[in-house]
């Protein structure tokens, strides 16, 4: 019959597209079918969803390439000042849906693939996440690129093309986290363009000789080649399609013929192995610094290649190097790219013949440094002997920077030895270490934190001496933001449609001017609107339940409150507080009569997040969560009132399902420890309420949405130091200080969730120093959970809160944040390609 050859879609559409019949066949269909036939060398009858995804991606990519070319041509012609965002992590997630929405082509593709027998949702679901990041810091970089293109700023990203992204997380039946590699490039990546002609050589090791005139000569050692891969970053409703350039390492000589001829086969391929290793894997550590040579090599490889590329582009304009700061601004995302500072000094002095002072003045006008944490274990330090070995010339330059810097400090504060020791770029000890945050602060034009409280803490704690010395105006704040395209329109299309309908403003307008959401406020009082609002939340909960059912085979009840905590596992983020709170609730339920239980509103608690592979306590926390879940989800006394799930392998794509489904989310770090948080913004933008400590951006969210619409608890930042002091010098037995917590811990220790001894090290962190103040915050945490329950009972009021929360989140668009960087730091302006294209 021929039917079996054409199992999908409309045979006529396929045939006409294949024959290239022009009339009536939409261009989307033609381009899709063309890619099936040529790029993929497949045919209609053997095309599966994965193939359809690839064809759709290639076809959408064609559009991006056109815009990308026009964007770059526009920059070359107008030669505006440009900004570069250097980040070791870009947590992009999936691309196809985002590209379709930003190009305004989603509905055309939906119809096009439908006629060919595919569903756009199934196709989108075939894409693998690009997960070249650990968490908040990497996702922030991705949101900023989206906003840079959407506001038409000349902004490029620079990073590394890791062959393996963040590990895949598996959870064993006992509750242990297992790590599997993430070979994300396995089935081809349609979103990158290899630029085999854009290469630079990067040197490691060797000898550095100092000449009398202050210049240095660095030679010998090993040279590795950096090859560029470009990822196109479309703006929303704009032609501007900026570039994210990722470097891959390759051996300079793939094969050492001399060794081979000498019969040393292993030696012949060795250099090739070590060169490849540089960009092989993302380090899976968040908030910890540790002196691994390969990590240092990653940092230098990436900064050296990026700077060489930036300088080559600048020089093409024919301007002298001293004008570099007029055309180039470089944002350092954390201290990871700080070696760019001595590297630019090296280029200016050793290669461009500048004197020290003039070079230093160029450098300190080009760089800008963002700090993301005040946690001591996260502040990068590199052993001096390691830097000396890998980058001998850079160590000399760092020492020179330090010398001139400390001389200036000495002039301002004569005979203040302690101050010099505190401020030095070099920490004394065995070995000595280079303090990267000091180097970044000294070498940059501006230094910023990522939320008001955090920026204040940077100024009053880790960089206080620098504020005293250089004046406060160099230090400022840019509160983080999130892109409303991915984090509302894309992940919550029904809510986006309802907002468009209600505001009577095109979504192309309000998604770029998020303050327009304020127009929703009056509708909080509109019962019909509330009903629609609540129905969408309900369907998003069902979508999540469906995900859990299909991936884990577990049935989640959707008539319950959904309570979500999703983020990296870390003691300071206090997933432990949450799980101990869940156990407290369980024990309370167990003690209730059936009559009492009837008044309880059911609650489903979700956790997701990865632990650093070597972070023992964090892994134990996962284990406890998993084992508590298996106990309480099967306990007939409680399972109708309390369910608990740990969803494995947290990712951007999983966040896109979880966030729109949440009624309440938890952001419960010890006060003063979470720099900003960004998922807090995502939940609130989607009408989820916030349960949190007075920390990071939680504070600014409460300022915007009103304190009556958030649930705050716990001690405040100024109290923390004293409480820690009390723990050590005036300890009070836990049973006395916090009997509720003591009872919970007793039950865990007694084996209520199995494995009694296994949890001892975790429980001891609380019984002993309790550095993260669980015993101080537990009671107010439990009280806050009770307030959440009570508020949820009044659904009308709850939905009003939800609407008002979304309505007041305009400030947290990453468009606002990126424009602050552009205006107050980089001094760059939008450079539109042409009249913006209409998106739908
Ligand atoms: C900060 F220092 N952040 C670090 C780090 O190593 N990794 C990381 O993700 C995060 C902060 O914890 C944050 O508060 C912040 O919002 C984010 O950087 C972006 O500034 C939580 O996501």
Q: What is the pLDDT of residues 712-749, one digit of tens each?
A: 999 999 999 999 999 999 999 999 999 999 999 999 99
Residue list, ligand 1 pocket, CB within 6 Å: 134-137, 140, 286-287, 372-373, 378, 450, 480, 674-678, 696
The mean pLDDT value for 421-438 works out to 98
Q: Whose CA is nearest to atom 16 of ligand 1?
A: 677
Q: What atom in ligand 1 is closest to the CA of residue 675?
A: 14
C-alpha to C-alpha distance for 775 and 649, rounded to whole angstroms: 30
Residue 640: what are its φ and ψ, rounded to 5°? Answer: -80, -10
Domain that holds residue 453: 79-94+129-478
Which residue's CA is the closest to the ligand 1 atom numbered 3? 137
Q: Ligand 1: which residue has its CA nearest to atom 5?
A: 287
572 and 546 within one domain: yes
Q: Which of 245, 372, 459, 512 is catalytic?
A: 372
Q: What is the Cα–Cα distance from 315 to 486, expressed in whole angstroms?
A: 36
Distance from the alpha carbon of residue 261 to the mean position of ligand 1, in angstroms: 51
**Ligand 1 atom at shortest distance from the alpha carbon of 285:** 6
Residue 1 in this model has a pLDDT that exceeds 60: no
Percent of the chain whose predicted confidence (pLDDT) is above 70: 95
Mean pLDDT of 403-432: 98
User: pLDDT tens-digit profile of 444-500?
Assistant: 999 999 999 999 999 999 999 999 999 999 999 999 999 999 999 999 999 999 999
Q: Which of 135, 377, 610 to mutate to test the pocket of ligand 1 (most atoms within 8 A of CB)?
A: 135
Ligand 1 atom showing the smallest separation from residue 679 Cα: 22
Of 573, 610, 619, 801, the active-site residue reads 573
Q: How far apart are CA 330 and CA 325, in angstroms?
A: 9
Asked whether residue 827 is domain-assigned, the answer is no
Instruction: Tell whether 28 is covered by a domain.
Output: yes
Q: Is 573 marked active-site? A: yes
pLDDT band at 269 (very low <50, low <70, confident <90, very high): low
ipTM > 0.90 (yes/no): yes
For the ranges 10-14, 188-192, 244-248, 516-520, the lowest mean pLDDT is seen at 10-14
How far is residue 443 CA from its own chain's centroid?
25
**Mean per-residue pLDDT for 106-110?**
96
CA pair distance 143, 603, nearest whole angstrom: 32
Q: Is 486 a catalytic residue?
A: no
Looking at ligand 1, which atom is closest to the CA of residue 288? 6
> What is the pLDDT of the chain when averaged over all its residues?
95
**pLDDT tens, 460-476?**
999 999 999 999 999 99
Tens of pLDDT, residue by residue over 613-668, are 999 999 999 999 999 999 999 999 999 999 999 999 999 999 999 999 999 999 99
Pick 258 or 274 by higher pLDDT: 274
C-alpha 644 – ligand 1 centre gap (Å): 26
Provide φ and ψ at 204, rounded to 5°.
-130, 155
pLDDT digits (tens, 9 = 90+) for 801-837: 999 999 999 999 999 999 999 999 999 999 999 754 5
| pLDDT value of position 26 | 80
Domain shared by 62 and 149, yes or no:
no
**Residue 727 falls in the annotated catalytic set:** no
| Domain count of the fold of the chain | 3
Model confidence band, residue 213 (pLDDT cutoffs 50, 70, 90): confident
Asked whether residue 298 falls in the same domain as residue 383, the answer is: yes
Q: How far is the centre of ligand 1, averaged over its atoms, from the C-alpha of 370 (Å)?
A: 11
Query: Is 835 inside a domain boundary?
Result: no
Mean pLDDT of 273-277: 87
Closest ligand 1 atom to 139 CA: 19
Q: Alpha-carbon distance 517 to 496, whole Å?
A: 11
At 395 the three-state DSSP class reads helix
pLDDT, tens digit (0-9, with 9 covering 90-100), for 350-364: 999 999 999 999 999
The per-residue pLDDT for 667 is 99
Same domain, 488 and 464: no
Sort strands 642-646 and 664-667 into parallel, antiparallel or unpaired: unpaired
User: How far is it, in rounded angstroms, from Cα 775 to Cα 315?
Assistant: 59
Residue 518 annotated to the active site? no
Instruction: Identify whether residues 417 and 546 lie together within a single domain.
Output: no
Write the residue with the smallest CA distance to atom 18 of ligand 1: 137
Instruction: Check whether residue 524 and residue 460 sit in a common domain.
Output: no
Of 438, 457, 478, the domain-final residue: 478
First-to-final CA distance of the chain:
41
Instruction: Kindly state whether residue 101 falls inside one of the protein's structural domains.
Output: no
Q: For residue 136, which atom of ligand 1 is closest to its CA?
A: 22
234 and 353 part of one domain: yes
Give the distance (Å) from ligand 1 centre to CA of residue 136.
Answer: 5
Question: Which atom of ligand 1 is closest in space to residue 134's alpha carbon?
Answer: 9
Known active-site residue 682: yes
For residue 121, the 8-state DSSP code is H
- For residue 836, is it within any domain? no
Confirm whether 539 is domain-assigned.
yes
Q: Are residues 375 and 469 in the same domain?
A: yes
Q: Ligand 1 centre and the CA of 275: distance in Å? A: 30
State in Å: Cα 481 to ligand 1 middle. Answer: 12
Are 64 and 168 part of one and the same domain?
no
Same domain, 112 and 181: no
Predicted confidence at residue 289, as pLDDT, reads 86
Residues 179 and 121 in one domain: no
In sequence order, what DSSP letters do the residues of 606-641 get, joined into one string? Answer: EEE----TT-HHHHHHHHHHHHHHHHHTT-TTTTTT
- Cα(138) to centroid of ligand 1, in Å? 8
For the domain that residue 296 is a member of, what is the CATH number? 3.40.50.2000
pTM over 0.80: yes
Ligand 1 mean position, distance from CA 373 (Å) = 7
Atom of ligand 1 nearest to the CA of 567: 22
Tell which of 423, 450, 478 closes a domain.
478
Is 831 among the domain residues? no
Q: Which residue is catalytic, options 567, 623, 667, 801?
A: 567
Cα(628) to centroid(ligand 1), Å = 28
Are the C-beta atoms of 659 and 357 separated by less than 8 Å? Answer: no
- The reported pLDDT for the residue numbered 2 is 47
Q: Is 555 designated active site?
A: no
Phi, psi of 68 (to 5 degrees): -60, -45
Q: Write out pLDDT tens, residues 551-580.
A: 999 999 999 999 999 999 999 999 999 999
For 333-352, write each residue's pLDDT tens digit.
999 999 999 999 999 999 99
Are 514 and 557 contained in the same domain? Answer: yes
**Residue 337's closest CA among 142, 155, 86?**
86
DSSP 813: B
Helix, coil or strand: residue 565: strand
Choose one of 372, 610, 618, 666 to mutate for the ligand 1 pocket test, by most ligand atoms within 8 angstroms of C-beta.
Answer: 372
Q: Which of 89, 136, 479, 678 is the best mutation target for the ligand 1 pocket, counting ligand atoms within 8 Å of the beta carbon and taking the most?
A: 136
Candidates 71, 370, 483, 678; catalytic one: 678
* 248 in any annotated domain: yes
Q: How confident is the model at residue 27, as a pLDDT? A: 87
Of the candidates 139, 530, 568, 603, the residue annotated as catalytic is: 568
């Amino acid at each position: 019959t021929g039917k079996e050859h054409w199992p999908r879609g409309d045979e006529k559409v396929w045939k006409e597209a294949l024959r290239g019949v022009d009339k009536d066949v939409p261009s989307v269909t033609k381009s899709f079918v063309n890619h099936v036939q040529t790029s993929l060398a497949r045919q209609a009858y053997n095309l599966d969803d994965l193939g359809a995804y690839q064809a759709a991606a290639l076809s959408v990519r064609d559009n991006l390439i056109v815009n990308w070319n026009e964007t770059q041509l526009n920059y070359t012609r107008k030669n505006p000042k440009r900004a570069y965002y250097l980040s070791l992590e870009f947590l992009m997630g999936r691309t196809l849906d985002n590209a379709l929405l930003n190009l305004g082509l989603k509905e055309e593709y939906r119809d096009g693939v439908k006629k060919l027998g595919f569903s756009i949702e199934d196709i989108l679901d075939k894409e693998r996440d690009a997960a070249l990041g650990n968490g908040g810091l990497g996702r922030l970089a991705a949101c900023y690129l989206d906003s840079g293109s959407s506001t038409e700023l000349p902004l490029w990203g620079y990073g590394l093309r890791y062959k393996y992204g963040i590990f895949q997380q598996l959870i064993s039946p006992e509750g242990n986290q297992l790590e599997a590699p993430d070979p994300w490039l396995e089935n081809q990546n349609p979103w990158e363009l290899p630029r085999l002609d854009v290469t630079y050589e990067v040197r490691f090791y060797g000898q550095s000789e100092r000449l009398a005139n202050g210049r240095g000569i660095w030679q010998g050692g090993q040279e590795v080649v950096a090859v560029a891969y470009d990822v196109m970053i479309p703006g929303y409703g704009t032609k501007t399609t900026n570039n994210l350039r990722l470097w891959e390492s390759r051996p300079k000589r793939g094969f050492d013929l001399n060794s081979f001829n000498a019969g040393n086969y292993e030696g012949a391929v060795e250099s090739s192995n070590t060169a490849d290793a540089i960009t092989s894997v993302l380090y899976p550590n968040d908030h910890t610094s540790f002196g691994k040579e390969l990590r240092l090599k990653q940092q230098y490889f990436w900064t050296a290649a990026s700077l060489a590329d930036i300088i080559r582009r600048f020089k093409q304009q024919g301007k002298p190097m001293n004008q570099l700061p007029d055309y180039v601004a470089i944002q350092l995302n954390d201290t990871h790219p700080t070696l760019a500072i001595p590297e630019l000094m090296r280029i200016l002095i050793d290669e461009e013949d500048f004197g020290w002072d003039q070079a230093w003045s160029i450098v300190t006008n080009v760089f800008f440094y963002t700090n993301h944490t005040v946690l001591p274990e996260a502040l990068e330090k590199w052993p001096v002997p390691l830097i000396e070995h890998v980058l001998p010339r850079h160590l000399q330059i760092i020492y020179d920077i330090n010398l001139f810097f400390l001389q200036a400090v000495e002039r301002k504060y004569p005979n203040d030895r302690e101050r010099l020791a505190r401020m030095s770029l070099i920490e004394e000890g065995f070995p000595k270490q280079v303090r990267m945050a000091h180097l970044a602060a000294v070498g940059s034009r501006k230094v910023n934190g990522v939320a008001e409280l955090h920026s204040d803490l940077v100024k009053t704690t880790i960089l206080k001496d620098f504020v005293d010395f250089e004046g406060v105006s160099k230090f400022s704040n840019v509160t983080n933001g999130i892109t409303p395209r991915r984090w509302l329109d894309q992940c919550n299309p029904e809510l986006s449609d309802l907002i468009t309908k209600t505001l009577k403003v095109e979504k192309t307008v309000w998604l770029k001017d998020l303050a327009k959401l304020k127009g929703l406020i009056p509708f909080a009082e509109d019962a019909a609107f509330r009903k629609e609002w609540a129905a969408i939340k309900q369907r998003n909960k069902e979508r999540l339940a469906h995900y859990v059912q299909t991936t884990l085979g577990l049935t989640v009840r959707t008539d319950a409150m959904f309570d979500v905590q999703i983020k990296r596992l870390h003691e300071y983020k206090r997933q432990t507080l949450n799980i101990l709170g869940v156990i407290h609730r369980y024990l309370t339920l167990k003690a209730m009569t059936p009559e009492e239980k009837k008044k309880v509103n059911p609650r489903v608690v979700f956790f997701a997040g990865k632990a650093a592979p070597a972070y023992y306590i964090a892994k134990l926390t996962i284990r406890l969560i998993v084992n508590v879940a298996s106990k309480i989800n099967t306990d007939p006394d409680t399972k109708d009132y309390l369910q608990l799930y740990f969803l494995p392998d947290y990712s951007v794509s999983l966040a896109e399902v979880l966030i729109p489904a949440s009624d309440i989310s938890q952001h419960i770090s010890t006060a003063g420890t979470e720099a900003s948080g960004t998922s807090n913004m995502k939940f609130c933008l989607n009408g989820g309420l916030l349960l949190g400590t007075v920390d990071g951006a939680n504070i600014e969210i409460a300022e915007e949405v009103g304190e009556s619409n958030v649930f705050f608890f716990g001690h405040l930042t100024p109290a923390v130091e004293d409480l820690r002091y009390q723990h050590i010098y005036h300890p009070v037995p836990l049973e006395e200080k916090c009997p509720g917590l003591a009872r919970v811990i007793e039950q865990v220790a007694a084996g209520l969730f199995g494995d009694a001894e296994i949890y001892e090290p975790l429980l001891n962190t609380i019984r002993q120093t309790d550095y993260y103040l669980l015993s101080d915050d537990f009671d107010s945490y439990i009280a806050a959970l009770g307030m959440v329950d009570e508020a949820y009972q009044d659904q009308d009021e709850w939905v009003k809160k939800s609407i008002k929360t979304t309505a007041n989140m305009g400030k947290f668009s990453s468009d606002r944040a990126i424009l602050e960087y552009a205006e107050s730091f980089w001094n760059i302006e939008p450079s539109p390609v042409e009249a913006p294209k209409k998106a739908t």
